Amino acid sequence: MPEQIYRRRFGDRKDGRLLRTLSPFYRVIPYIMPRRSDALNMIADSVEISGLEDWLRAKRADGWKGMGMLHVTIAAYVRMISHCPGVNRFVSGQKIYARNNIELVMIVKRAMSSEAEETSIKVVFDPADTVFDIYRKLGEKVDEIKADQGDNNTERAARVLTAFPGLLLKFAVWVLRVIDYFGGLPRALLDASPFHGSMIITDLGSLGLGPIYHHIYDFGNLPVFIAMGAKRKAYELDKTGQAVERKYVDYKFEMDERVVDGLYFANALKYLKYYLKNPVLLEQPPEQVYEDIF
C-alpha cells in the first residue's frame, strides 16, 4: 500500500499537527500548568564512552575529520525519536502538537575566542538520518555561520526588535506571544526563532566544563534542553574485583513533562544511552520509523 500523506487540518500549526486522540487528562494538563517552567523536569545521567571513543577514532581515521561526541549525541537523539516520536511533541496555545520535523537549536561562536560573537543555528533532521547525515548537515550549518560575518536570520529579527524603545519592545514581544498562541507566526519567524524547535543542546565539554541544569524557555515551544559536559575518568571495580579506569560523559536533561509521561521519557532515554554505547548502529538508517499518534 502507498504511504498515506497527512493533509493539514484546521487547528494544526505550521510547525506541527494537533494531537486529537490524546486522553482528556493530557488535554487538560496544559491548562493546569500553562507555562513551560511550571512543567520542568530535570534529570542527570552519565554514559560510559570507552567503546564510543574507539569508534570515533576509527571514523576519524576513515576521513570523518572532527567527528565527536556532539555528532553522536545528536545522532542518538534523532534515532531515539524514530522509536519514541512523542518526545518530539510540543505545547503551544495550551494544546499538544506533534512536530513536523526534527529541529535542533544550538548556540555557537563564530570563532573560539572570548571576543567572538555568539549566534544560534537551527538544523533540520529526518528521523531516518544516519550519524553521517548528522555530521554533514551540522557541519554545513556551522561552516555557513563561521564564513558569513553578517547577521543571520535570528540576528536580523533581533535587530529589528531592538530598534524599538523598551516599552514598545515589551509590547511587540507580547504581540508575538499572542500570535504564537494562536499559531499565527509566519514560517520565516519560526525558522529564525531559537525558541521554537525539537530541542536545544549545549556542549560544555568543548569548554572543559561539566554540564549545567539549564531552564527551558516559556517563550516559544522548545520541550527539551540537553547539556553535555567534558569527558571524565573514573576508577571502578570490574567483575573480578580489579580496579579499572573508565571514561564517562555526563548529561543533564530538562524536559517539558506535559508532552509525555515519565515512563515514556524514561524509555526514550534508555534508547538514547543504548545508541551512545552502540554507535555502529547509527551508521545505517533505522529499520522502522514510528509515527506519533493522531
Q: What is the pLDDT of residue 158?
A: 78
pTM summary value: 0.92
Closest CA to 181 of 51, 61, 34: 34
Predicted pLDDT of residue 207: 86
pLDDT digits (tens, 9 = 90+) for 190-227: 998 999 999 999 999 988 899 999 999 999 999 999 99
Instruction: List, for residues 51-96, the tens digit of each pLDDT value.
Output: 999 999 999 999 999 999 999 999 999 999 999 999 999 999 999 9
Model confidence band, residue 116 (pLDDT cutoffs 50, 70, 90): low
**d(C-alpha 49, C-alpha 68), whole Å:** 12
Taking the mean position of all CA atoms in its chain, how far away is CA 170? 28
Q: How far apart are the first and last CA of the chain?
A: 20
Neighbour tally for 245: CB within 10 Å: 9
Question: Residues 31-53: pLDDT tens digits?
Answer: 999 999 999 999 999 999 999 99
- 253 pLDDT higher than 90: yes
Q: What is the CATH number of domain 16-148+186-282?
A: 3.30.559.10
Is 198:104 a contact under the CB 8 Å cutoff?
yes
Residue 6 pLDDT: 79
